[in-house]
Amino acid sequence: ADQALVRSASLTAEPALTLIRRGENQAFWNGDLAPMRNAVAALKPDSGAYKAMGYNVYELAWWQRDFASAARTAEAAGEQRWYDSTNLVLQPVLLAAQAYAAAGDSVTAKPFYLKIKENMQTAAQARPDDSDLHLALGFANAGLGLRDEAIAEARKAMSLMPVSRDAVSGPAVQSAAAKIFASVGANDEAIDLVRQLLQIPCGRVMSSALLKLDPAWDPLRKDARFEKLLAGSDAKFGAEGSTKP
């Protein structure tokens, strides 16, 4: 994939977007954020490319634990939708809330969580079988401390978009559900889902490098079972490099 992205960038007069994709791929692969950092730094903040890659700008800040920058980027996106590489629909309002919460500012985060919950509940009345809506509700409920509701929404999302139905989006939904479980202390379910994902081809969703890098997995870091999974994954696939946030 890295070689293909390098080749793709060499064939276009505007390689910025491809270089960011390559940087994201490197982060998933070996945890090295330098290529993505350089690609984002090369973008002009007022350019169309910068706006088109808003989620990736947020993603880089999140991975670097620069939660203030992540929150600003998400807020600037307003009500627009973002999509990750698996076509998962992402709500910038929700991502802003998560960034504020990760920075320890629960007071600022709460209105964002309440807003996304209200919006997603309304949308779900019209589209009850939309897994993206249930994931957003799960994260919002988790952020508001509503453990049971968060778990229920995560399970609902997985039932609507199982891996058996969609080999691209299914694992992404499962990974998001695992993050919801982890955030509310449902470690058994979170770790079981992580274990399942590490056993299938889903390198654009989960890897040992990404598990080490992403703050979303911090609630599991003191769980010996999670550390054992990481060690087993490194041994199976080989450590391509150290995590470099």
> For 106-155, what is each residue's pLDDT tens digit?
999 999 999 999 999 999 999 999 999 999 999 999 999 999 999 999 99
The pLDDT, as a whole number, for residue 51 is 78
Confidence at 47, pLDDT banded by 50, 70, 90: confident
Q: Considering the entire predicted model, what is its pTM? A: 0.91
Q: Given the structure tokens 């992205």, which residue do they identify?
A: 5
CA angle in degrees (0–180, nearest 5) for 110-153-83: 75
Confidence at 234, pLDDT banded by 50, 70, 90: low
Q: What are the angstrom distances between the C-alpha of 90 and each of 19, 191, 207, 238? A: 22, 23, 20, 31
Which residues are bridge partners to 32 per DSSP? 244
Rg, the chain, Cα only:
17
Which residues are bridge partners to 90 per DSSP? 82
